[in-house]
Every structure is written in C-alpha cells, then in structure tokens.
C-alpha cells in the first residue's frame, strides 16, 4: 500500500514538474519568461518532493520481506531515481534544467512499470559491503551516462537549430552552445571515472566477473568504458564535438544498456526466468 501511494504521489509531482518546465521552455514573450524565471524555486520544490516520494517507492518495491528484489522494472525505477537526483543537485549550480523535461517523464514511466508490471526475479537475501559498493557505483555510473546521452541529443539539436538560424522559444531559454558542450563532456568524464571504479570493484569483490551469468555484463561494461575513453581522447586530442560526440555518446550508452538490462530483459520478460 505504501509503495502504491508513494509511487502515485511521485508520479503526480513529476507530472506537475514536467508541465511547469514545458511552460517555461515554450514562453516566447520576454516579460512572461522573466516572470517564469522567478518561478524556478517552485519547480525545484516539485522536483525534490517527487524525489522524496520516489525514494520511498524505490525502498518499498526493492526491499521486500523476502529480500532485495532487483527485477527489471524495480532496478529501472532505482536508476531513474538516481538520474533525477543527479540532475536536481546539478541544477542548483549549473544550467541543466532543460533535462527535467526528459528525466521526469522517464521516472514516471519507470514508477508505473515497477508498480503494475510483474517480474520473476528471485530476491537476494544477502549482499556484502563490497558488492553493495559495486552496485551503488554501477547505478551512479549508468545514471551519469544516461544523463550524458540526453545532454548529447540536446547539444546536437541546439547545434543544428543554430546552423539553420531557427531561434525558437525553447532555444532562447537554453544556455550557449559552448556551455552545453562543456557540461556534456564534464558529465561524460565523471561517468567514465565511475565506470572504471565499477570495473575495479567488480574484480575486487565479485567471485568471478567472467562467470556465465556475469560475462555479458563484464564484456559490455568494458566495451562501453572503452568507447567513452576513446571519446574523451578524441575530444582532447582532435577536438571532437557536435555530431561526432553525439554518435560516440549514444553508442557507448547503447552498449551500457546491453550490459545492465540486456540479459535481464531477455531472461525475465521474454523467457520468464529468474
């Protein structure tokens, strides 16, 4: 019951926040835009209320009486909570409010799926501190890379609109392209460092990172880390940006999705196995 109430409350707050941010981005009149800028505080309050109720929901759906349930939809809502948390905290000092319009709806979808769609995962009854650290770093790393993927799409769209001289209302509310690109690579660099920590803690605390049930995750995580390492090298050595940065970011994110959700999707949803 608590999971349902907290989940629906979070959905309501996220929906209100999405609507509010959508209005902010669609305003063209300078006076109205200035008035809405003063309304940034209520938007942040909505976001933090959504985060708080979402956290209660995450705890309720994952921490069951039989152990920790890391099913496909349960872990998805945990990832979405981490994504929103990172964006909300970043928005206190950086111009990343444009990401609300994406991460809030993603959180809504993940909450509804975790509440109303069944899973078949066997709960985990024991988790060592080392493995718990590995899991937390994995959640943080995936969330950072997911945010970077969204930011890369926004940067690519902004770059295209500027080249076509299309100054839409949304465009006027976004920071300069250079600021957006710098922020993108800061997020990617942070995600890359965390992924390295995920790999290190995996080899330190997991029994066998290349065991049959982990080999796919290990391989795709290593591959995704290599992709982002190459992207950062290209940025610093060859000045990669724009479409090139977008393609590399989406490629690395796609590989990381396979690492975290590929086998879970096939086993739990298609084959209905734990």
Q: What is the pLDDT of residue 247?
A: 92
CA–CA dist 49, 12 (Å, integer): 10
Residue 159 CA to residue 273 CA, distance in Å, equals: 45
Give the DSSP letter string of 92-152. TTSS-GGGHHHHHHHHHHHHHHHHHS---PPPB----HHHHHHHHHHHHHHHHHHHHHHHH
pLDDT of the chain, 274 residues: tens digit per residue: 888 999 999 999 999 999 988 887 776 555 444 444 545 778 888 999 999 999 999 999 888 877 778 777 888 899 999 999 998 988 888 778 778 888 999 999 999 998 988 666 677 777 787 888 888 888 889 999 999 999 999 888 888 888 877 767 667 777 788 888 888 999 999 999 999 999 999 888 887 666 656 688 888 899 999 999 999 999 999 888 888 888 999 999 999 988 877 766 665 655 555 5
DSSP 201-233: HHHHHSS-TTSTTTHHHHHHHHHHHHHHHHHHH
**13 and 46 in contact (C-beta within 8 Å)?**
yes
**How many other CB atoms are found less than 10 A from the CB of residue 202?**
21
Query: The tokens of 269 are what?
Result: 């949803």
pTM of the model: 0.82
User: What's the pLDDT tens digit per position in 27-41?
Assistant: 655 544 444 454 577
pLDDT at 103: 92
Structure confidence at residue 263 (pLDDT) = 64
Residue 266's pLDDT is what?
Answer: 60
Read off the DSSP letter of residue 173: T
Q: Which residue, among 174, 186, 146, has the nearest Cα to 21 in the 3D structure?
A: 174
């Amino acid at each position: 019951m608590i999971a349902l109430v907290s989940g629906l409350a979070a959905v309501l707050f996220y929906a209100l926040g999405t609507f509010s941010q959508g209005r902010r981005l669609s305003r063209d009149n300078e006076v109205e835009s200035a008035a809405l800028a003063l309304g940034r505080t209520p938007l942040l309050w909505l976001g933090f209320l959504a985060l708080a109720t979402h956290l209660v929901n995450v705890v309720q759906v994952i921490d069951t009486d039989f152990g920790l349930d890391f099913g496909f939809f349960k872990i998805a809502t945990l990832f979405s909570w981490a994504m929103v948390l990172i964006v909300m905290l970043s928005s206190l000092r950086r111009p990343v409010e444009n990401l609300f319009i994406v991460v809030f709806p993603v959180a809504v979808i993940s909450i509804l799926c975790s509440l109303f769609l069944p899973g078949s995962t066997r709960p985990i009854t024991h988790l060592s501190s080392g493995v718990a650290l590995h899991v937390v770093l994995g959640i943080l790393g995936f969330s950072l890379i997911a945010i970077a993927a969204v930011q890369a799409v926004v940067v690519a769209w902004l770059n295209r609109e500027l080249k076509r001289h299309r100054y839409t209302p949304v465009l006027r509310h976004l920071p300069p392209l250079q600021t957006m690109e710098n922020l993108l690579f800061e997020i990617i660099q942070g995600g890359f460092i965390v992924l390295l920590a995920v790999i290190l803690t995996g080899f330190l605390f997991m029994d066998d990172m290349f065991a049959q049930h982990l080999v796919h995750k290990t391989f795709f995580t290593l591959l995704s880390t290599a992709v982002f390492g190459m992207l950062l090298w290209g940025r610093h050595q060859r000045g990669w940006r724009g479409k090139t940065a977008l393609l590399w970011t989406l490629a690395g994110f796609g590989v990381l999705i396979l690492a975290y959700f590929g086998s879970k999707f096939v086993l739990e949803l298609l084959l209905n196995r734990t």
